[in-house]
Structure 1
Amino acid sequence: MSKAYGDGSNKEDGTYLNLSVIEVKQVEPDLLIASLRYEIESESTKTLQNKINQTMKKALMIAEKKEELTISTEQYSVYKYSKPGKEGENGKEIWKGSQAIVIKGKSAEDILVLSGQLQEIGLVMSDLHDEVSLEKLEEVRTSIMENAINKLLSRAKKQLI
């Protein structure tokens, strides 16, 4: 019967070997994310909200033609603010509204073309950035772990020889 480490057995009865390895890999982003928004001002909330809804409906109809891209709407906002009047006049209350659409995909060309089409109907680019997709992160993590384990096994075999 073998004894477990820490059960009171004498450590000097056997050989203990601790091995460690560090594996590092540079990963290039493979996912492009574009965020565009539609903004409008109006004296009427009804007019403002209808215009936002119509524009976003049109934007989604254009965007949905690109099956390889992921499209989502975000950040719907409507609020009132006071627009300063001319000197000696009172300001007037105006409603402002906006909504964003986010496009994600691996084809920069498709995203840039679609972004241009959406800008033609009145949306403006808020953000454009790239990042590493979850799929690629998992692929790299698995590869790094396999490499690290192989290095450890190789070192352990060298120590046993």
Structure 2
Amino acid sequence: MSKIHVTTKVNGDDVEFLADPRESLLDCLRDKLDLTGAKEGCGTGDCGACSVSLDGTLVCSCLVLGVEAQGKTIETVEGMAQDGDLHPLQRKFIEHAALQCGFCTPGILVAAKNLLERNPDPTETEIRYWLAGNLCRCTGYDKIVRAVQDAAAEMRGAA
């Protein structure tokens, strides 16, 4: 099967890669672009470990074909830190001990960032609803929710 040339923007950088038409975006990110933050937890879109933003929409990259990225903008966890400074969400996850093994953390961070871009002042219920597609087996969700609330307050300038 012939490969398809894909041109896209990832974390602000123009990139190109060749993708098999059946290859997932997750595999393209990890294997072709060396962006290993997104993880394959289930391969069926049930765990959220592979969450990325595709043209501003939160998606499970295991369910999107790499060729579907043509001409689109992708944001991964690797793009969250700017100029060596952690994103407020990343800092608050550390401060609140909202991670343990870290396998789910990149997907949760991308999902939380996507939420805060849409709603800078979410309620606890809205945070829990938005993150419902991201499974964590280690931390429990209270620390994660508190970290998102704290980051949201800081980003609004209320902290």
Common fold by TM > 0.5: no
Scaled by the length of structure 1, what TM-score is found?
0.21
Scaled by the length of structure 2, what TM-score is found?
0.22
Point out which structure has higher relative CO (alpha carbons under 8 A, 6+ apart): 1
- Tell me which protein shows more strand as a share of its residues: 1
